[in-house]
A and B are shown apart, each in its own frame.
Chain A
């Protein structure tokens, strides 16, 4: 594998709510031979469905500013949240495809910055799957998570709109399932697996009951299928499931206690790391049931 260094794009939820995601991703990637560097001064991506809904031009300019920081570093961007990925990848796609739009955005960015279109935006899942590859991950597994039943949640903006993202059709994807199953865990089929978590499009901010009702349905479906935890590749979905369960209890009175793991946390466990090194103890819903399930984890 070619040694590659990515510009690590943090966004908001990861550094400011779930630093365990940043910690575990950077650590696992490094152990698998992928380096990442900070993106000094990066900010909100900004959320494609939220800021994009308010004013697409502002959304695009702010996203372009973030991309410019990586262009300065000369690195492709690595994202750990479907929202960040969606935002930056879509902005990059639009700007690369429309020179006039690029000029308009550069007018806003001037004089200090200029979007050039020299780098690509990647999702963490792509890096694990394409750069590193399943085989290499398999070799790094020291603590197989045999017997662990996982409800995989893809989230929406990693795959959709498929015409822009280019990862194929989004109805029955397999990339994240493959990444989960290489750890020894089982990706369990459950009803409406590809349904949204409820976070996006500003619904969480504006109408949290609607957002949480969606989250609740997903959690119920996963539990009905007998999962031990849910695993996601998206910081926003992660927040919606983890923080969301506290809110669901508060608003609807239902208590689920479904452990929520970010993918690199699951991988970290399988690669022999202590859950505390992965920030798993700093979440709202205890992840202990996962540790109890797999012998040798505690």
Chain B
């Protein structure tokens, strides 16, 4: 039988991880919401409520435990982290008031910063850089709009270049371009 090293030394984990999560979340939510993770009692009510968990290995409960104990790399690199549809069912039901869904969003923010944002997500973001819309107009829909008696282009950033410029300015200021790897020269994602 092959020998596997199955014992984890808790001391070797990143015990500051939970503080990092709370600190990151505090920037937008204030401290109270991310701090609720500390009160998780591992009852599993979240995981059993999860529509994604019923078809994937995503276990919200397990993620909160791993965060509190300091499994930083494991949590941030996991695919499961991205299976949450943010339906909030778990957050509504949590008996300890853990703001579960918000914590998933915070964890994803950290994961994105660590380079775990998927190509598909970057591409979706790319549409916003170019058009101000995550789902942009196309020729077919322009025809449909016209047929329905609407303007070919909606009165959004699609027909207001100055508004699009302002939106792009925001993306620069928040360094979202760096996070996504967007090249303003080519208006495309940088090749990794």
| Chain A contact residues, CB within 8 Å of chain B | 10, 12-13, 15-17, 19-20, 22-23, 38-44, 46-58, 60-62, 65, 69, 94, 98, 101, 108-109, 112-113, 156-157, 160-162, 169-171, 194-196, 198-203, 205-207, 210-211, 213-214, 217, 279, 282
User: When the two chains form their complex, are residues A41 and B92 in contact, meaning their CB atoms are under 8 A apart?
Assistant: no
Closest 8 interchain pairs by CB? A41-B163, A49-B86, A15-B154, A43-B132, A160-B88, A41-B160, A196-B87, A201-B86
B34-62 Cβ-contact flags toward A at 8 Å (1 or 0) = 00000000000000000110011000000
Chain B residues with Cβ below 8 Å from A56 are: 27-29, 105-106, 109
5 contacts across the A-B interface (CB closer than 8 A): A41-B156, A54-B112, A199-B85, A206-B120, A214-B51
| Chain B contact residues, CB within 8 Å of chain A | 27-30, 51-52, 55-56, 82-89, 91-92, 99, 101-102, 104-106, 108-109, 112, 117-118, 120-121, 124-125, 128, 131-138, 141, 144-145, 147-150, 154-158, 160, 162-164, 166-167, 170-171, 173-174, 176, 179-180
User: When the two chains form their complex, are residues A41 and B85 in contact, meaning their CB atoms are under 8 A apart?
Assistant: no
User: When the two chains form their complex, are residues B136 and A16 in contact, meaning their CB atoms are under 8 A apart?
Assistant: yes
Selected contact of A61 from candidates B112, B117, B147, B174, CB within 8 Å: B174
> Using a Cβ cutoff of 8 Å, how many contacts connect chains A and B?
216
The closest CB in chain B to the CB of A97 belongs to B30
User: When the two chains form their complex, are residues B150 and A19 in contact, meaning their CB atoms are under 8 A apart?
Assistant: yes
The closest CB in chain B to the CB of A278 belongs to B148
The closest CB in chain B to the CB of A57 belongs to B174
A200-B86 in contact given A16-B154, A54-B179 (Cβ < 8 Å): yes
Known: A19-B144, A196-B87, A201-B86. 13 other contacts (CB 8 A): A12-B136, A15-B137, A16-B133, A16-B136, A16-B138, A39-B155, A41-B155, A62-B171, A156-B86, A195-B51, A196-B51, A201-B84, A213-B55
The closest CB in chain A to the CB of B55 belongs to A213
Closest Cβ of chain B to A102, distance in Å, is 12
Chain A residues with Cβ below 8 Å from B176 are: 54-55, 58
The closest CB in chain A to the CB of B125 belongs to A54
Selected contact of A108 from candidates B133, B147, B174, CB within 8 Å: B174
Chain B residues with Cβ below 8 Å from A203 are: 52, 82-85
The closest CB in chain A to the CB of B171 belongs to A58
Chain B residues with Cβ below 8 Å from A58 are: 170-171, 174, 176, 179
Selected contact of B134 from candidates A50, A160, A170, CB within 8 Å: A50
User: When the two chains form their complex, are residues A43 and B128 in contact, meaning their CB atoms are under 8 A apart?
Assistant: yes
Chain A residues with Cβ below 8 Å from B109 are: 53-56
User: When the two chains form their complex, are residues B28 and A57 in contact, meaning their CB atoms are under 8 A apart?
Assistant: yes
A108 to B169, CA, bound (A): 9
Closest Cβ of chain B to A18, distance in Å, is 9
A196-B85 in contact given A171-B92, A210-B55 (Cβ < 8 Å): yes
A19 to B146, CA, bound (A): 10
User: When the two chains form their complex, are residues B28 and A94 in contact, meaning their CB atoms are under 8 A apart?
Assistant: yes
The closest CB in chain B to the CB of A277 belongs to B148
User: When the two chains form their complex, are residues A54 and B180 in contact, meaning their CB atoms are under 8 A apart?
Assistant: yes
Chain A residues with Cβ below 8 Å from B128 are: 43-44, 46, 51, 62
Chain A residues with Cβ below 8 Å from B154 are: 10, 15-16, 19, 22
User: When the two chains form their complex, are residues B112 and A101 in contact, meaning their CB atoms are under 8 A apart?
Assistant: no
User: When the two chains form their complex, are residues B55 and A214 in contact, meaning their CB atoms are under 8 A apart?
Assistant: yes
A40 to B153, CA, bound (A): 12
Question: Which of B51, B155, B163, B174 is the most central at the interface, judged by chain A CB atoms within 10 Å of its CB?
Answer: B51
Chain A residues with Cβ below 8 Å from B117 are: 54
Chain A residues with Cβ below 8 Å from B135 are: 12-13, 16-17
The closest CB in chain A to the CB of B101 belongs to A161
User: When the two chains form their complex, are residues A211 and B85 in contact, meaning their CB atoms are under 8 A apart?
Assistant: yes
Closest Cβ of chain B to A30, distance in Å, is 14
Question: Which of A15, A52, A171, A213 is the most central at the interface, judged by chain B CB atoms within 10 Å of its CB?
Answer: A15
User: When the two chains form their complex, are residues B105 and A49 in contact, meaning their CB atoms are under 8 A apart?
Assistant: yes
A98 to B147, CA, bound (A): 45
Selected contact of B124 from candidates A101, A108, A162, A205, CB within 8 Å: A205
Closest Cβ of chain A to B177, distance in Å, is 10
The closest CB in chain B to the CB of A165 belongs to B88
A230 to B166, CA, bound (A): 39
A113 to B162, CA, bound (A): 13
Chain A residues with Cβ below 8 Å from B120 are: 205-206
Chain A residues with Cβ below 8 Å from B55 are: 210, 213-214
Closest Cβ of chain A to B45, distance in Å, is 13
A52 to B29, CA, bound (A): 12
